[in-house]
Chain A
Amino acid sequence: MTVVAARLDDQVVDSDGRSVVLVGQDVSVISALATAALRLAEDPITANDLGRRLADLFGEPAHGSVAEATGIVVASLLARGLLAEVTAG
């Protein structure tokens, strides 16, 4: 799966890496991991590459695999409209 970040209308990043984002009318507070994921997905990126880049930044997850941890973050961001899946064609 390849994903790309939604166009953010505004974003404020805190010193702990978390951020608050505005897309359309919706305001969301997201974790430092999700904030980094959005930044890494400014251009389309595969979920595997995204997982590797996040592991470089944050280390291996304490529980489960990088792929599982990335899947959770990606699913959450997709559900909130902050990431979109890039379809071939």
Chain B
Amino acid sequence: MAMADPIRLDAMGVAIDLHLADGRSETVRPLVEAAWSRCLRPDDGEEPDVSLDVVLGEPSDEAGADADADRVVAAATSEHLMELLSQEVTVAAVSVRAGELVMLHACGLADPRTGRTLLLVAPSGTGKTTLARTLGHRWGYVTDETGAVELDGRLLAYPKPLSVVTEGEHKVQMSPDELGLAHPPGDLTVAGIWLLDRQPGVDRAARERVALVDAVALLAEQTSYLTFLEAPLTQLAELVQTIGGVSKVTYSDAEQLRPLVDRFLGGAS
């Protein structure tokens, strides 16, 4: 039997091939291809940086996975498998780019015309996906997970699926296309970085400048593989100075950020 084609992804410039392990696992192919619609890459004939075997089944079914795979992702339900896959692809990409990119835990929103991007930095599980869903219809969806900045200041998009909690309390991985989020242009630059401080009960978002050393320390906390970078604090400081400083934004609800983001990205109307 001919081997089925892998699903080919590009995550922060990392080529990741997903191999669906068997006939049952093949049933998730349409789900994966739809959810990862903005990360699919064409077959260029090159070897991928990472291969993941994807198994829909009980953990014991992992035995049937490809021994050449770098890692096996297995779950008993398609919903759980999709959730794990999102985590594993991110972990794989971040691991490969460790030391090469400044990778901030951030939601990224870009001006669709110019590529100027605002990175909203916050720890995992504090509302970055909600911000992307709320503000990403107007501003191009760059990422809800990792703001990946190259040493020359360019930003790599990582438009992964967004994890959305449904009425049944299940997490569903949804494509930015399915959610109607705007496309960013190909060339992205970091125009601003805001450190988010979500405070329940705040009735209006407030933005204030953060001193350089405090900004660097706070960004360091939200940087993956910080110590793999050469002179990491110096690199963060250069990024902060290049964009003219970092702000802290206190807010309670994603909608409160809309006027601030609209004004910053220059599209208020």
Contacts and interface: CB of A to CB of B under 8 A. Distances in A.
Interface stretch (A21-29, A37-45, A58-66, A74-82): A21-29
Contacts of A18: 211, 213
A12 B233 contact: yes
B233 A27 contact: yes
Given A16-B211, A20-B213, A27 B220 contact: yes
A9 interface: yes
B211 A10 contact: no
Nearest to B220: A27
Contacts of B126: none
A20 B227 contact: no
A14 B234 CA distance: 11
Contacts, number: 45
Chain A interface extent, by class? 10 to 19
B214 to A, nearest CB: 6
Q: By DSSP majority rule, is chain A's interface helix, strand, loop, or mixed?
A: strand
Contacts of B226: 25, 27
B210 to A, nearest CB: 11
A14 B213 contact: yes
A23 to B, nearest CB: 10
Interface residues on B, range: 10 to 19
B217 A27 contact: yes
At the interface, is chain B mostly helix, strand, loop or mixed? helix
Contacts of B221: 27
B88 to A, nearest CB: 24
A29 B233 contact: no
A24 B213 CA distance: 18
Interface in A1-59: 9-16, 18-22, 24-25, 27-29
B34 interface: no
Contacts of B157: none
Nearest to B221: A27
B23 to A, nearest CB: 45
Q: Kindly list the 6 A-B residue pairs having the minimum CB-CB distance in the complex, ordered from nearest.
A: A20-B213, A10-B233, A12-B237, A14-B213, A27-B220, A14-B212
14 contacts: A10-B231, A10-B232, A11-B233, A12-B212, A12-B234, A14-B213, A20-B220, A21-B233, A22-B220, A22-B232, A25-B227, A27-B226, A27-B233, A29-B213
